[in-house]
Amino acid sequence: MKAALLALLFAVALGTQAQECYDLSARSSWVGVVCFNDGTLTMQMQGATYKFCNVPFDTFSGLVNAGSPGTYYDQYIRGRYRCSGY
């Protein structure tokens, strides 16, 4: 329940109606709440918020289901999905 509430608050704070949000902080000391909406991945990492564009849903799903979200981020997301002007 707490994770769902945190995810909802994160989505509202971003001013978006997130399609899917998950709190990964129980499995990661680095990655917190992650949200996916229409190809845009928003991640809270170590207190900062980052946006990634044109992310395939399969990549988001892999992050959510990874045993180590931080390792998955390093291998499959970091440096690959930059938003223009961001």
5 vs 36, higher pLDDT: 36
Q: How many CB atoms lie within 10 A of CB 10?
A: 21
Confidence of residue 1 (pLDDT cuts 50, 70, 90): very low
Q: Residue 3 pLDDT more than 60? A: no
Q: State CA 12 to chain mean position distance.
A: 14
Q: 40 vs 4, 44, 84, CA distance in Å?
A: 19, 13, 12
Q: What's the rounded Cα separation, in Å, for the pair 34 and 25? A: 10
